[in-house]
Chains A and B, each alone.
Chain A
Amino acid sequence: MSLFQFLARHGDEILRATSEHIWLVGLTMLLAIAIGVPLGILVTRRPWLSKPILGGANVAETIPSLALFGFLLPVPWLGDRADRLAIAALTLYALLPIIRNTAAGIATVDPAVREAARGMGMTELQILFQVELPLSLSTVIAGVRIATVLTIGVATIAAAVGAGGLGEFIFRGLAMVNDQLILAGAIPAAALALVADFMLSVLERRLRLAR
């Protein structure tokens, strides 16, 4: 079968799977940022929490992804729907780089700047939102970028629990020993990762140059 014929037959399906994939990754990243950034901030505020939080995220990262989907299956509410389950597992994976980079970004803010901010009479929240977070934004984005690329790859495994996405092609291709089907999943996934990586790296560079 030629590439053209293949695309004619599977094009719609590839588009649908790609948009499913983007949806899975997008939601995952939103959740991971919403959870990871506050945890990263917490780590800088309560140093004794740094070991349990970073350690926990590290452990989540080391669990084989397929096993993680399996572990979450019996969890009430989460296990009820495949996409819920997939997003929960993927979020756990994406957390570590975001927490780590948020904490690192804040930790590298010049102590003189922080001292001046305190000495001027800024409140802790004002220092966080007007000084520390803006100054560490590019580092946080770098973490989001790593997490996004990682998630786009791992999300292909979500198809194993029926959450859809580009992994469907890969699993089908494996089952049918059909290289074309595998590539139909793998190539768009790789392209997505490259595009996301490029866009986020541009954003990161912009933020770094802005001072």
Chain B
Amino acid sequence: MNQGKIWLVVKPTVGLPLFLGGVTVIALAVHAAVLTNTTWYPAYYSGKAAKPTASVPADKAATTSTASITAPVAGTETPVLLAKASPGKQ
């Protein structure tokens, strides 16, 4: 190896952590820069939660949001006839 003699003058216990740490710091810095300067990268990490954020125009929202489901209030239920029995006939 061309530069194999480096470990004769640089202690491996110092040089290797410095080398690996430098690679890690640079990689994290570059990815953090991409993460903070783009929209698609944070959206990717947000998964599907970030996708359905399309806004509905106000005029369309007014017409489309009128449908509603109301739950029955206690005491006002209408009786439901499930079966009609006629005595005397089999």
Q: Do A and B bind each other?
A: no
Q: Which residues from chain B sit less than 8 Å from chain A, CB to CB?
A: none
Q: Which residues from chain A sit less than 8 Å from chain B, CB to CB?
A: none
